[in-house]
Chain A
Amino acid sequence: MLLPPHITSNSTSATRNPVYALVGNPNCGKSTLFNALTGLKQKVGNYPGVTVEKKIGTAYSQHGTPITVVDLPGSYSLAARSPDEAVTRDVLLGRRADTPQPDRILCVVDATNLERNLYLVHQILDLGRPVILVLNMMDLAAAAGAEIKLDKLEAELGIPVIACEAVNGRGVIDLKLAMSRADLPLSRHAWDVPAAIAPAVAELQASLTANDGKSPLIARAEALLLLTDRDSLRVAGSKPLSARTAETLAIWQRRWEGEGTDWAGILVNSRYEAIGAIAAEVVTAGHTPGPSTSDRIDDIVTHPLWGWLTLGGVMAALFLSIFTLAEFPMNFIDGHIAALSDQVKAAMSPGDLRDLITDGAIAGVGGVLVFLPQILILFFFIGLLESTGYMARAAFIMDRLMSRVGLNGKSFIPLLSSYACAIPGIMATRTIEDHKDRLVTIMVAPLMSCSARLPVYLLMIAALLPGDSVPIWSKVGLMLLMYTLGTVGAFAFAWLFKRTLLKGAPPLMIMELPPYRLPGLRDVALQMFERAWIFLRRAGTVILGISIILWFLTAYPKAPAGSNEQQQLAQSFAGRAGHALEPAIKPLGFDWQIGIGLITSFAAREVFVSTMGVVFNVESAKDNTTPLRQALLAAKWPDGRKLFTPLVCFTLMIFYVFAMQCVSTIVVVRRETNSWRWPLFQIGYLTGTAWLVCILVYQTGRALGFG
């Protein structure tokens, strides 16, 4: 009989199939094993209230019985230091109301790095749940000359130990057999809590049982954890301690502080002593071979000269592939959206409904879909960098520079990706453990000039430096100036936020440099599609809504019959809003017609170009910018002055460097920060900065006699 976990109790009786939690250190191959166990039968979501990925999959035993597996975020310890680790801890301890406590635990360890990996296992054995230990990467351990005696390890711990190579599926069948066993033994591993802290553990355990409603075994595990996890990181969804237990803990801590007892250190030490004793029995380290392949790669990749060249090469490859590989699918999508729009136009009689569908829904959603190839390629690259281990090296090289503004090296790749598109960049910030560092990175990511700004920059450069006689370097120089301005802005604001709004503890960087590994293409591809789907699902609906609103603003109220598009736009709500906006943007040198463009391009920056096409009544602004450029150059203020002077074009480019003109990014920031507060703040500070910088540039330029 199969019942959902929340109906049945947490017992591991044979009345239903047990729910497994999959845990392990980062880089131990846990995701690969999860994919090997569950295939494509996965559900990916978020834990409510926190931005931590929740992955649940179904594995099938040899007899076809489904087994639920919850993939918990990679953790080094149950004493959590990041929201990811806090979720792992809370699920295992049964603290989360949204996820039932798993019945059994699958612990994955990297066989090449047994001691450190066993630390988490040692904490988990305290939980009193049946555990299966999976020794992954046995082939690599053997290649490194280490011999691990599985039977001895099994005897020492008293739990099933399965050797595995998740990358090629070896050992997965053995693992499934073990998982479908009706009963699993509890660990026999006995471990003496050091005498100095044993009384405190007993007292806390009693209090947790009496006041927090914990079962005695979990209470002991929590008591031990409270002693290592001093500033116990809380995330939404985890229940706080009862006042009595917190008081007991505080009394002990004060006493130990008075005595100078390093209780947390003692506890960690004694765990490692126990682990050391096991490892001495179980592992026979062979001859130590010379530097490994990984070491030799690192000699180049982190070399003072070759390291920078490698980083530059990786960056160049990333951007080249985005701009060349993405071009074909982008044209393909663009063409199909246009064709779809034409079909609808042909099939329906003219009217508002037809325009709503073609100009509102199809154009709006199409405008986002066009960027999907770029986003997918970026997700793929980020996944590749993560799974090969290069991401950690880039962070290692860049840490010093990033520390100048108070961030650490892990912010580098997200910011770099934002040059192509801020969305994958912002979604990649999940690897940054420190909550404040992550927020700062998200806040400044949209300042990196993304590819949606390119059409605006190109149009403005064409209007600013018309004619073919203009040397190419001045155009390139202008473009580079915009990229530099955004980058400098991002670092300046990061520096400012780390000192004011998001002031945090002194920066820390404790990071493992995992050995290089060949990427599992299936894992990378799966992750890429998952992330893209999350983006589409979240952004799609909001963008559809905003597109329809924007269409409505340009289509109503109706101009008298016989007017053309230009006249319609001029007297629509958007046109009126442009007029209303004019006093605010006139000091920047912009008139109401540019104002309309600023409003419509709030959905996405590149919309500015097509809006200008409508405003100045130029057909097919997209394929050939020359007519539009000429129209812009001919545009005048009512008093006959030229509208698009070089200074105005320059100011407009600067506006787009800073202003937050992207609904997709706003939606993604909302998702990644879990509130509207941060995206709203971001719109305010970015668009405010844009306005201030533009007014400064325009007025200074005027005073100096330009424009």
Chain B
Amino acid sequence: MKLSELPVGTNAIVRELPNPDPANIRLREMGLLAGTKLSLIRVAPLGDPIEIKLRGYHLTIRKTEADHILVDPVP
């Protein structure tokens, strides 16, 4: 499932990231890698961007980026 479709409050594990363009390399350098555990904390009041929690910190990315990140929800 796409990260942008993950319901608020659920945990997931990153399955696949797109081939890196410079922006994506930065996402990886921020610790968002295949196998990384994350949870979707909230969506901004206007519906974009989203806030995720990974490796103990909070990160916000736009849905256009989250569209390309595939995740497996975990209970």
Contact = CB atoms under 8 A, between A and B. Distances in A.
A231 B56 contact: no
A302 B42 contact: yes
A408 B42 CA distance: 18
Contact of B31 (A81, A112, A272): A272
A116 B28 contact: no
Contacts of B49: 396, 399-400, 409, 509
Given A116-B30, A230-B22, A302-B42, A400 B61 contact: no
B33 to A, nearest CB: 6
Interface string A530-572: 0000000000000000000000000000000000000000000
Interface string A676-688: 0000000000000
Contacts of B27: 510
Contacts of A304: 45
A44 interface: no
B19 A268 contact: no
B62 A262 contact: no
Given A264-B25, A508-B62, A403 B33 contact: no
B17 interface: yes
A228 B56 CA distance: 24
A76 B48 contact: no
Contacts of B58: 512-515
Given A113-B55, A307-B45, A396-B51, A510 B22 contact: no
Given A268-B29, A269-B33, A272-B31, A508 B23 contact: yes
A273 B49 CA distance: 29
Nearest to B28: A268
B46 interface: yes
Nearest to B61: A510
Interface in B18-62: 19-20, 22-23, 25-31, 33-34, 41-42, 44-49, 51, 55-62
Interface in A296-310: 298, 302-304, 307-308
Contacts of A81: 22, 26
B59 A508 contact: no
A119 interface: yes
A435 to B, nearest CB: 14
A511 B51 CA distance: 9
Contacts of A116: 30-31, 55-57
A72 to B, nearest CB: 17
Contacts of A505: 23
Given A230-B22, A508-B62, A510-B61, A119 B29 contact: yes
Contact of B44 (A79, A302, A506, A507): A302
Contacts of B55: 113, 115-116
A76 B60 CA distance: 15
Given A77-B26, A304-B45, A262 B20 contact: yes
B18 to A, nearest CB: 10
Contact of B56 (A113, A265, A308, A409): A113
Contacts of B46: 397, 399-401
Contacts of B33: 268-269, 272
B52 to A, nearest CB: 10
B22 A77 contact: no
Nearest to A231: B22
Contact of B26 (A115, A302, A400, A510): A510
Nearest to A265: B20
Contact of A396 (B25, B44, B65): B44
Contacts of B25: 79, 228, 230, 264-265, 268
Contacts of A392: 60
Contacts of B31: 115-116, 119, 272
Contacts of B61: 509-510
B56 A269 contact: no
B74 to A, nearest CB: 15
Contacts of A79: 25-26, 29
B51 to A, nearest CB: 6
Contacts of B56: 112-116
Contacts of A397: 44-46
A308 B45 contact: yes
B30 A510 contact: yes
Nearest to A302: B42
Most chain-B Cβ atoms within 10 A of its Cβ — which of A307, A401, A511?
A: A511
A508 B62 CA distance: 7
Nearest to B56: A113
A265 B31 CA distance: 11
Contacts of B44: 302, 396-397, 399-400
Contacts of A230: 20, 22, 25
Nearest to A112: B56
A510 B34 CA distance: 18
A700 B56 CA distance: 60
A341 to B, nearest CB: 52
A549 B7 CA distance: 64
Contacts of A403: 48, 62
Contacts of A295: 41
Contacts of B17: 265
The 6 closest A-B pairs by CB, nearest first: A400-B46, A513-B58, A268-B28, A304-B45, A77-B29, A113-B57
28 contacts: A76-B30, A77-B29, A112-B56, A113-B56, A113-B57, A115-B31, A119-B29, A230-B25, A268-B29, A269-B28, A269-B34, A302-B51, A303-B45, A304-B45, A308-B45, A396-B51, A397-B45, A397-B46, A400-B44, A400-B46, A403-B62, A507-B62, A508-B62, A509-B62, A510-B26, A512-B30, A513-B59, A514-B57
Interface of A: 76-77, 79, 81, 112-116, 119, 228, 230-231, 262, 264-265, 268-269, 272, 295, 298, 302-304, 307-308, 392, 396-397, 399-401, 403, 409, 505-515
Interface of B: 17, 19-20, 22-23, 25-31, 33-34, 41-42, 44-49, 51, 55-62, 64-65
Given A115-B55, A399-B62, A514-B58, 19 more contacts: A76-B29, A79-B25, A115-B31, A116-B55, A264-B25, A265-B19, A268-B28, A295-B41, A298-B41, A302-B51, A396-B51, A397-B45, A400-B44, A400-B46, A400-B47, A505-B23, A510-B26, A510-B59, A512-B58
